[in-house]
Structure 1
Amino acid sequence: MSPRPFALLGLSLLLAACSSQPEEETPQAPLAPSERKAGAAPQPLQAGQRELRGSLLGAPANSEVELALLVVDERGRPRGELGNLHLSGNGQALPFSLRFEPQPLTPGLRVELRGRASQSGRLILRLPPRTVSGTDSQTLGTLQLVPAP
């Protein structure tokens, strides 16, 4: 018997082994500014950057909270994103600091802060859209999450 069938079989097995998915070993990446721990020192704002600060009430423990600063039209449809932030709910007031780059707005457009909280991939809470006046740094105070429809 010739070695050719064995060589083809060996090559096929090698290709099959190389095409399998690697085991899940994700290295720990440094935390993004939006995911820093509460006691961490904040980084200074970069040139031209602005910031919205406040705290969210109602985010249960083990929930994923997402905030987005959007440019919307007069019908409330998103036309662009100025910045977003992902946080982990802990069952207490959740402080946030959302950084963004301001942009000039055309007539008929406005800036809104929107948010949502999900748990196990299911939407459970939302932040009613909040119009942000101007594109300067602001403190919004305490915002309440409400049940999602």
Structure 2
Amino acid sequence: MSPRPFLLGLSLLLAACSSQPEEGASQASANPSTPSVAVQPLQAGQHELRGNLLGAPTNSEVELALLLVDERGRPRGELGNTTLLGNGQTLPFSLRFVPQPFAPGLRAELRGRASQSGQLILRLPPRTLSGLDSQTLGTLQLVPAP
């Protein structure tokens, strides 16, 4: 028997076992009727951005990401993300992340977008964060996407 099929099978098995579940998947998207966003306590070293989004239509997919961006506003890295299901009402969110040191000239921004049937319909104007501590951002408004 040739070792080629064995090695192929072994590499596929290792690749499947090495993937990790997505961090930042919100409990709110799993159960949109739950008023509380985070059910589980933060893990060691983890921080959280909390707030509410206005304007997400029912059955829209809302993606939020905490990004490191340069002076020109170009993304240079991601600290965390979450996806929510719009319900036509105020949408609470919780985005968990692990703060990391970053190069001078970069800043942390919360960005977001909402799509429906695969089409971009709304966006969250970029919001620069003053620090990478846990914060409550209040109510944020989604605006029409250009």
Please classify the TM superposition score into its range, dividing by the shorter chain length: 0.7 to 0.9
Query: What pairs with 1:48-67 in structure 2 (closer than 5 Å)?
Result: 48-67=45-64
Unmatched tracts of structure 2, length 5 or more: 1-24
Q: Deviations over 1:40-95 (max 9, x none)?
A: 66100000000000000000001000000000000000000000000000000000
Q: Does 1:132 align with 2:129?
A: yes
Q: Partners of 1:36 and 1:75 in 2: how far apart?
A: 36
Could you tell me which residue of structure 2 aligns to residue 82 of structure 1?
79
Could you tell me which residue of structure 1 aligns to residue 30 of structure 2?
36
How far does residue 132 in structure 1 lie from its aligned partner after superposition? 0.9
Q: How many positions carry a matched residue from both structures?
A: 118
Q: What amino acid maps onto 1:104 in structure 2?
A: P
How far does residue 39 in structure 1 lie from its aligned partner after superposition? 4.6
Q: Partners of 1:69 and 1:103 in 2: how far apart?
A: 12
Q: Partners of 2:26 and 2:128 in 1: how far apart?
A: 24
How far does residue 106 in structure 1 lie from its aligned partner after superposition? 1.6
How far does residue 117 in structure 1 lie from its aligned partner after superposition? 0.2
Unmatched tracts of structure 1, length 5 or more: 1-31
Higher radius of gyration, 1 or 2 = 1
Q: What amino acid maps onto 2:54 in structure 1?
A: L
- TM-score normalised per structure 2: 0.77
Q: What amino acid maps onto 1:103 in structure 2?
A: Q
Q: Partners of 1:44 and 1:36 in 2: how far apart?
A: 17
2:104 to 104, 107, 113: 107
Q: Partners of 2:125 and 2:104 in 1: how far apart?
A: 23
Q: Partners of 1:55 and 1:102 in 2: how far apart?
A: 22
SS at match of 1:86: strand
How far does residue 133 in structure 1 lie from its aligned partner after superposition? 1.1
